[in-house]
């Protein structure tokens, strides 16, 4: 039988209605509690800081909007080409963007790394990874029908969520990212059925979602941290020496992580990135220390809107390329997005204040993981397992599934939930007998 884009893994789903399959997928993700949780989860710094930063939900919604607009534009401007690469459905691309961060744990990448180490130390060797957890939520953990697990999304949408269409066990431990755990091997194979065996090329819809993620991260995080004074865009507009210091540090990261930069001479790469930075930042409004005046707010919005518009329009589909490389970005746009992302990394993520905060967050996760792991392995005599997970623990088939459930419990919490649960279970703050434990 031919592989159909809009097949669903579980048959007997609700009868079709007036919506297209892609629209139904998008609506299913939009209403899941896993998406709502992201409103209380860090994008770069905690949403409880008292400043209006992006959180994971606002980031996700902006990624979805950017991804949809790119899909719509390409469908209009390259209609025949998009058909030649298997089709580009704006609803599928938007749904995939809404899924892409569902598995992001509390407090960001520091906790993601900590969970990965803890899961592997518990002898589950495909560890923890936010993208793989997102796929697990969409296919297993989210609930919408008592007859089957997950959201039962179409093959097209599941494939579009796979920014990294391989598992850790098959890719080797050198891979920093992977898209599915062994526990979702069957669902992964269903999503990838239209690709030849062993092919690791992303679908065009996944490529669009990934570029939208890069754009949103690059532009909106820089906006956030310029407003609070952590990224000195005003100084970087007037001090070329500061620009060069920043770019040299950025190039160290980029030359290690971005394959197309690795063949360039380091000094040539610095020069290219200085020019990319000047084009991305110096072409905007005149910047000064942010005071939230009406003029500054309007100028900043005009600047960010212009950057996004440029990057949305900087792509085209090249159908005769191998899968995973059919969305061509201009080198200028790619360089600018990469250098903007480094602003947040160098001025915010590598800030000692954030690094020490993350140390404490990792400690919380380590303690909770140990408490839960002991309970699922030895029997939950103390009743620490949340009621919503007790049935799953009882039904677990073997130790690997029990460990995976522990990671599910911790990664599915909001940041406030995680801190309150840690305080309650360690006796730091017993809470109230009237508290709701889910």
Q: If you ran DSSP here, which 8-state letter would residue 15 be given? A: P
- Summarised one tens digit per residue, pLDDT across range 120-138 is 999 999 999 999 999 999 9
Task: Give the predicted TM-score (pTM) of the model.
Answer: 0.93
- The C-alpha atoms of residue 276 and residue 373 are separated, in whole angstroms, by 48
For residue 195, what pLDDT is reported? 86
For residue 438, what pLDDT is reported? 60
Q: Which residue has the higher pLDDT, 102 or 298?
A: 102
pLDDT at residue 434 tops 60: no
For residue 324, what pLDDT is reported? 84
- The C-alpha atoms of residue 138 and residue 158 are separated, in whole angstroms, by 8
pLDDT at residue 287 tops 80: no
- With cut-offs at 50, 70 and 90, classify the pLDDT of residue 84: confident
List C-alpha distances in Å: 357 to 221, 353, 425: 19, 6, 21
Q: Provide DSSP, 395-434.
A: H--SHHHHHHHHHHHHHTS-HHHHHHHHHHHHTS----TT
pLDDT at residue 1 tops 50: no
User: How is residue 261 written in tokens?
Assistant: 């930069």
- With cut-offs at 50, 70 and 90, classify the pLDDT of residue 15: confident
For residue 18, what pLDDT is reported? 92
Task: Give the residue-averaged pLDDT of 174-198.
Answer: 88
- Summarised one tens digit per residue, pLDDT across range 250-271 is 999 999 888 889 888 888 999 9
Based on DSSP, count helices (H) and strands (E) in the chain, helices before strands: 20, 2
For residue 47, what pLDDT is reported? 62
Cβ pair 333, 310 in contact under 8 A: yes
User: How is residue 293 written in tokens?
Assistant: 């005046």
For residue 370, what pLDDT is reported? 96
- With cut-offs at 50, 70 and 90, classify the pLDDT of residue 49: low
Task: Give the residue-averaged pLDDT of 390-402.
Answer: 92
Task: Give the residue-averaged pLDDT of 370-374.
Answer: 95
- Summarised one tens digit per residue, pLDDT across range 199-223 is 888 999 999 999 999 999 999 988 8
- Give the percent of the chain with pLDDT over 90: 61
- Summarised one tens digit per residue, pLDDT across range 157-178 is 999 999 999 998 655 444 678 9
Task: Give φ, ψ of 42 to 5 degrees.
Answer: -60, 140
User: How is residue 40 written in tokens?
Assistant: 């209380």
- The C-alpha atoms of residue 181 and residue 131 are separated, in whole angstroms, by 10
User: How is residue 390 written in tokens?
Assistant: 């007790």
For residue 381, what pLDDT is reported? 76
For residue 237, what pLDDT is reported? 84
For residue 69, what pLDDT is reported? 97
What's the chain's average pLDDT?
89
Task: Give the residue-averaged pLDDT of 356-376.
Answer: 93
Map tokens 């997928």 to a residue: 25
């Amino acid at each position: 039988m031919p592989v159909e884009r809009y097949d669903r893994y579980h048959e007997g789903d609700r009868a079709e209605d007036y919506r297209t399959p892609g629209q139904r997928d998008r609506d299913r993700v939009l209403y899941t509690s896993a998406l709502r949780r992201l409103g209380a989860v860090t994008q770069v710094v905690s949403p409880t800081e008292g400043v209006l930063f992006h959180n994971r939900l606002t980031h996700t919604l902006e990624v979805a909007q950017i991804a949809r607009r790119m899909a719509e534009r390409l469908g209009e401007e390259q209609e025949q080409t998009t058909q030649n690469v298997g089709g580009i459905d704006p609803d599928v691309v938007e749904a995939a963007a809404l899924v892409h961060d569902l598995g992001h744990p509390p407090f960001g990448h520091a906790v993601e790394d900590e969970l990965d180490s803890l899961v592997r130390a518990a002898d589950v060797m495909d560890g923890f990874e936010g993208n793989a957890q997102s796929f697990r939520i969409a296919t297993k953990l989210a609930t919408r029908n008592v007859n089957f697990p997950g959201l039962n999304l179409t093959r097209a949408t599941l494939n579009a969520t796979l920014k990294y269409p391989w598992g850790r066990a098959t890719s080797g431990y050198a891979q920093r990212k992977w898209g599915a755990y062994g526990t979702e091997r069957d669902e992964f194979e269903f999503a990838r059925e239209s690709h030849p065996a062993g092919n690791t090329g992303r679908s065009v819809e996944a490529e669009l979602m990934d570029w939208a993620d890069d754009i949103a991260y690059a532009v909106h995080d820089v906006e956030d941290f310029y407003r609070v004074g952590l990224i000195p865009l005003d100084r970087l507009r007037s001090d070329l020496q500061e620009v060069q210091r920043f770019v040299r540090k950025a190039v160290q990261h980029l030359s290690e992580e971005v394959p197309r930069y690795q063949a360039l001479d380091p000094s040539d790469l610095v020069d290219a990135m200085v020019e990319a930075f000047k084009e991305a930042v110096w072409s905007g409004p005149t910047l000064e220390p942010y005071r939230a005046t009406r003029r500054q707010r309007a100028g900043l919005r005009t600047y960010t809107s212009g950057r996004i518009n440029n990057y949305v329009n900087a792509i085209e589909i090249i159908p005769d390329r191998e899968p995973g490389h059919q969305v061509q970005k201009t080198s200028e746009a790619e360089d600018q997005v990469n250098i903007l992302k480094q602003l947040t990394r160098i001025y915010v993520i590598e800030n000692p204040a954030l690094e020490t905060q993350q140390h404490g967050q990792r400690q919380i996760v380590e303690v909770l993981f140990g408490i839960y792991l002991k309970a699922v392995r030895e029997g939950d005599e103390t009743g620490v397992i949340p009621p919503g997970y007790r049935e799953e623990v009882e039904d677990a088939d073997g130790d690997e599934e029990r460990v995976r459930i522990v990671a599910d419990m911790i990664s599915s919490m909001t940041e406030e939930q995680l801190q309150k649960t840690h305080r309650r279970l360690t006796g730091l703050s017993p809470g109230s007998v009237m508290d709701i434990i889910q």
